[in-house]
Amino acid sequence: MQIIYKNVKAGVPVEMDRFKKISKELRDNGAQVIILGCTELSLVKRDYDIGSGYIDALEVLAKVSVCECGGKLKKEYISLI
């Protein structure tokens, strides 16, 4: 929550050390994929190289919306992990 409220929403650079620490803790506890379930975390993925193994809820919503409207996805959006 600190990354969301005290960094992204506050317009302050994201504490990537904190983000990486949280990601490592989740993975150490068995997470195979981490869901970026808040739209502010989509900005972290957009602005920083966080690597693979994350699912961005906003990208999933956009993908489903395009598909439901009969649109075609760009190749890079077919797999979101």
- Provide the pLDDT for residue 32: 96
Residue 80 has pLDDT above 80, yes or no: no
Task: Count how many domains the chain has.
Answer: 1
User: In this structure, is the dihedral angle defined by the CA atoms of residues 26, 30, 33 and 38, taken in order, positive or negative?
Assistant: negative
Residue 48 predicted with pLDDT over 90: yes
Give the residue from 79, 65, 73 showing the smallest Cα distance to 33.
79
* Residues found in the chain: 81
Give the model's confidence band at 79: pLDDT under 50 very low, under 70 low, under 90 confident, else very high: confident
**Whole-number average pLDDT of the chain:** 94
- Which comes out higher in pLDDT, residue 80 or 51? 51
Q: pTM of the predicted model, to two decimals?
A: 0.81
